[in-house]
Amino acid sequence: MGAHLNAYSTREHTAYYIKALSKDLPKAVELLADIVQNCSLEDSQIEKERDVVLQELQENDASLRDVVFDYLHATAFQGTPLAQAVEGPSENV
């Protein structure tokens, strides 16, 4: 089976998905369910992902557009979870 597994987060949700051929749908659903229900990560995998997230934070901080939208959300949604940046502060990573 060939497939593409990925995930992304927004202010409102986190999504995990698999792109696969329709004939592989049962196996893709089984794999995704296993990942969500039985997730197990080694320390090295967590460190690798931490580095990716920190790099993304640096890229966002360097993007005027991203910074402006973070301030816009912080102002428009004061006192709610939607006011928070998607990635959160680097000290939480």
- Provide the pLDDT for residue 76: 97
CA Rg value for the chain = 17
The rounded distance, in Å, linking the Cα atoms of 83 and 62 is: 20
6 — pLDDT class (breaks 50, 70, 90):
very high
Q: What is the domain partition of the chain in residue ranges? A: 1-39, 41-92
The rounded distance, in Å, linking the Cα atoms of 2 and 21 is: 8
Q: Is the pTM of this model over 0.85?
A: no
Question: Which string of b and e fits 25-39 if b means at least 16 CB within 10 Å?
Answer: eeebeebbeeeeeee
